[in-house]
Amino acid sequence: MCGIIARVGEGGAVDELLTGLKNLEYRGYDSAGVAIPNGKSIDIRKQEGSVDDLVSAIDGNEPVGNIGIGHTRWSTHGPPTDENAHPHTDCTGSVAVVHNGIIDNHDELRDRLIAEGHEFTSETDTEVVPHLIERHLANGDGPEAAFRSAVDELDGSYALVATVEGGDALYATRNGSPLVLGIDGDRHYLASDVPAFLEFTDDVVYLEDHDVVVLNGDGYTIFDSEGRRLDRPVETVEWSPEDAEKGSYDHFMFKEINEQPVALGQTLSDRFTGDGDVDLGIDPDRYVDVDHVHFVACGTSYHAGLQGTHILTRAGVPASTYRASEFVATPPPLNEDSLVVGVTQSGETADTLEALRVATRRGAKTIAVTNAPGSTAVRETDESIFIRAGPEIGVAATKTFSSQVATLIMFAELITRSMTGSGIEDFEEIVDSLRSLPDAVQRILDTSRAERIARFYAGSEAQFFIGRGGAYPIALEGALKFKEITYEHAEGFAAGELKHGPLALVNADTPVFAVILGPGDEKTIGNVREVQARGAPVIVVAPEGADDALAVADEVLTVPDSHPIVASVLANVQLQLVSYHVAELLSRSIDKPRNLAKSVTVE
Ligand code: F6R
């Protein structure tokens, strides 16, 4: 949701800024721009369209200078036009600013600035910031003081980086939107996310809200909001640059689907202790008095959360999963014995963060289940569990979902032990399947018939996905992935609900994917017959040994025999492949689907 990159240090800025923007395009791809001070003025190049369009536009006429800021946009205020593209400037073009987030009081600030004679050229909320800096410079402040004074006037969420003509410095801050500092000897970077500069450095400082950073040729200094110097730890990220590159794959999504055996291996490694217990890096004793587990999440992570509730409920532990935005709208009763678990691969999703804040305000215990060390969710919760899936660049979540579910299975055992004194009854069987999960995923990747099924059904009127119990979240996730990257109509339903309304939509041109994983099989098989009676072809996704389920199918996608809870991850891999191949056949923009961005930092 908007990507920021900035750099200071030896060497030309433009190439690294454009590389950073390309690496950040998963956060927004409506428009892109860079601003590079060249000693005389600030050279700004920005336009509607992709980073590649920007690269072509400046090819042969690159801006010269060794500090600069860049931005790739996902529109919130104003459509994707050249004028609304970042960086934004003041009236004189001597201040340039890039921003991620939303400035809530921009209307009021804009009115005041216009009344004072400032002229605006865009419809964005961001443009108030360079004008505010201009105003404070005109009042005699130096650039750093002018930046601070401007920031003091803002309400809302923001990561901001500014540069001022005539200086050799960048000024940055954050409040509720991510910003990370990268350090490579004399060269320094600021970005919304580590993959932006991972090929330049893996040494990072995760900035905190209200930190103010000043970067120049001498290095970086971090201050708190009162201007006192801060010492933030430098951490080395474990991701390699190749993890965040497409390599020989056509799409990041397909690469990430294929990375799932490795990702799951990382997720599961060193988590089981000798006595059959689970170690997720959290303190189990904190949770002995918990009386209810609430998962809060959005989109794909919400589906992982539903799986968490399924596993806990089945083990006799009270649990619920909420869409984070609805949890905020209507919070359930919470107290110090409530545990609220935010499931968020990015750790930056605004709805989920707000749900966790509501929980904290009401005294609940909080945990983040995330792929992003240093993220806001990690900083704002009591404890964190890392899913260790490695970087995911494709906007559609794939490997992070698998790693989330695998993590939540282990979490369910840990919390069940804490809350009830004994673990999940069949946990040993679940662990056996978990240990085989990476290999089982690899078998699916090597043998899947998903491409053939995609060829057969691409272009259908709609696709439906049904499942019961632990297969229901997979039906929902299958449908979400399908609509997200194919732009075709797809819906997921609880198998038993079909006959209560959705069956009216079913016809011979609406293939139904039935996920059948074990418990409740006969009933779902009955639901399959109901849709077949209306002419719909049914693709059954089921374990190899599930003869009854496979017998009713028009087409089958099998998964290696596993415990049903673990088989849900496998079934989902088959559905990821179907969506991917349909999107490819329809020539969709797979890694950057229409209107979507990864990491949604607005509510
Ligand atoms: C869909 C997808 C989104 C995210 C959702 C939450 O493929 O990726 O639905 O799952 O925006 O994101 P996180 O997990 O970062 O909170």
The best mutation among 1, 74, 300 to test binding of ligand 1, ranked by most ligand atoms within 8 Å of the C-beta, falls on 300
Report how far residue 343's alpha carbon sits from residue 453's, in angstroms, rounded to the nearest whole number. Answer: 32
> Any idea of the CA torsion for 9, 10, 16, 18, to the nearest 10 degrees?
80
Atom of ligand 1 nearest to the CA of 401: 10
Atom of ligand 1 nearest to the CA of 481: 7
Residue 603, pLDDT score: 79
Residue 366, pLDDT score: 98
| Window from 24-38, 53-67, 149-163, 538-552 with minimum mean pLDDT | 24-38
| Helical (H) or strand (E) element with 233 | none
Ligand 1 centre distance from Cα of residue 299 (Å): 5
Has residue 26 got a pLDDT over 90? no
Has residue 275 got a pLDDT over 80? no
Q: Which phi and psi angles does 95 have, rounded to 5°?
A: -130, 135
Tell me, using a 6 A CB cutoff, whether residue 463 lines ligand 1: no
The DSSP secondary structure of 393-460, one letter per residue, reads -SSS--HHHHHHHHHHHHHHHHHHHHHHSS--TTHHHHHHHHHHHHHHHHHHHHH--HHHHHHHHTT-
Residue 597, pLDDT score: 79
The best mutation among 349, 477, 486 to test binding of ligand 1, ranked by most ligand atoms within 8 Å of the C-beta, falls on 349
Tell me, using a 6 A CB cutoff, whether residue 396 lines ligand 1: yes
Protein residue whose Cα sits closest to atom 16 of ligand 1: 344
**For residue 384, what are its two tokens?**
């964190």
Ligand 1 centre distance from Cα of residue 156 (Å): 22
End-to-end CA distance of the chain: 12
| 81 and 127 Cβ atoms separated by less than 8 Å | no
Atom of ligand 1 nearest to the CA of 395: 8
Report how far residue 238's alpha carbon sits from residue 224's, in angstroms, rounded to the nearest whole number. Answer: 28
Has residue 77 got a pLDDT over 90? no
Ligand 1 centre distance from Cα of residue 588 (Å): 19
| 17 and 208 Cβ atoms separated by less than 8 Å | no
The best mutation among 298, 580, 590, 603 to test binding of ligand 1, ranked by most ligand atoms within 8 Å of the C-beta, falls on 298
| Window from 151-155, 292-296, 426-430, 516-520 with minimum mean pLDDT | 516-520
The mean pLDDT value for 190-201 works out to: 94
Partners of 69 in the β-ladder: 6, 35
User: pTM, whole model, 2 decimals?
Assistant: 0.87
**For residue 249, what are its two tokens?**
């794959």
Active site residues: 2, 598
> Any idea of the CA torsion for 196, 201, 205, 208, to the nearest 10 degrees?
-10
Q: CA torsion sign, 441 to 445 to 448 to 450? A: positive
Partners of 97 in the β-ladder: 88, 162
Protein residue whose Cα sits closest to atom 6 of ligand 1: 298
Report how far residue 400's alpha carbon sits from residue 406's, in angstroms, rounded to the nearest whole number. Answer: 10
Has residue 207 got a pLDDT over 90? yes
pLDDT in tens, 352-409: 999 999 999 999 999 999 999 889 999 999 999 999 999 999 999 999 999 999 999 9
Report how far residue 309's alpha carbon sits from residue 412's, in angstroms, rounded to the nearest whole number. Answer: 9
Atom of ligand 1 nearest to the CA of 345: 14
Report how far residue 261's alpha carbon sits from residue 265's, in angstroms, rounded to the nearest whole number. Answer: 6
Cβ-proximal residues to 378 (8 Å cutoff; 6+ apart), any chain: 347, 368, 370, 372, 384
Ligand 1 centre distance from Cα of residue 557 (Å): 26
Residue 172, pLDDT score: 98
> What is the residue type of 166?
G
Atom of ligand 1 nearest to the CA of 599: 15
| 337 and 289 Cβ atoms separated by less than 8 Å | yes
Tell me, using a 6 A CB cutoff, whether residue 572 lines ligand 1: no
Tell me, using a 6 A CB cutoff, whether residue 344 lines ligand 1: yes
> What is the residue type of 221?
T
Partners of 384 in the β-ladder: 368
Residue 595, pLDDT score: 83
Report how far residue 540's alpha carbon sits from residue 558's, in angstroms, rounded to the nearest whole number. Answer: 8
Tell me, using a 6 A CB cutoff, whether residue 301 lines ligand 1: yes
Tell me, using a 6 A CB cutoff, whether residue 599 lines ligand 1: yes
**For residue 150, what are its two tokens?**
């401007």
Residue 431, pLDDT score: 96
Protein residue whose Cα sits closest to atom 15 of ligand 1: 346
Has residue 495 got a pLDDT over 90? yes
Ligand 1 centre distance from Cα of residue 305 (Å): 12
Selection from 344, 424, 347, 409 nearest residue 568 by Cα = 409
What percent of the chain lies above the pLDDT cut of 90? Answer: 88
Atom of ligand 1 nearest to the CA of 299: 9
Report how far residue 55's alpha carbon sits from residue 62's, in angstroms, rounded to the nearest whole number. Answer: 9
Residue 90, pLDDT score: 97
Tell me, using a 6 A CB cutoff, whether residue 371 lines ligand 1: no
In the structure, how many helices (H) and strands (E) does the chain have? 18, 25
The mean pLDDT value for 20-42 works out to: 91
What percent of the chain lies above the pLDDT cut of 70? Answer: 100
149: burial class by Cβ within 10 Å (0-12, 13-18, 19+)? middle
The DSSP secondary structure of 138-162, one letter per residue, reads HTT--HHHHHHHHHHT--EEEEEEE
Tell me, using a 6 A CB cutoff, whether residue 305 lines ligand 1: no
Protein residue whose Cα sits closest to atom 10 of ligand 1: 300
Question: What rounded mean pLDDT belongs to the chain?
Answer: 95
Tell me, using a 6 A CB cutoff, whether residue 433 lines ligand 1: no
Has residue 167 got a pLDDT over 90? no
pLDDT in tens, 231-250: 999 999 887 777 778 888 99
C-alpha of 564 from chain center: 27
**Please, what are the domains in the chain?**
3-242 (3.60.20.10), 246-442 (3.40.50.10490), 448-603 (3.40.50.10490)
Tell me, using a 6 A CB cutoff, whether residue 372 lines ligand 1: no
pLDDT in tens, 323-346: 999 999 999 999 999 999 999 999
Atom of ligand 1 nearest to the CA of 404: 14
The mean pLDDT value for 426-443 works out to: 96
Residue 471, pLDDT score: 98
pLDDT band at 594 (very low <50, low <70, confident <90, very high): confident
Exposure string for 489-522, b = 16+ CB within 10 A, e = fewer: ebbbbbbbebeeebbebbeeebbbbbbbbbebbe
| 233 and 205 Cβ atoms separated by less than 8 Å | yes
Report how far residue 481's alpha carbon sits from residue 401's, in angstroms, rounded to the nearest whole number. Answer: 11
Ligand 1 centre distance from Cα of residue 370 (Å): 11
Report how far residue 513's alpha carbon sits from residue 510's, in angstroms, rounded to the nearest whole number. Answer: 10
Tell me, using a 6 A CB cutoff, whether residue 404 lines ligand 1: no
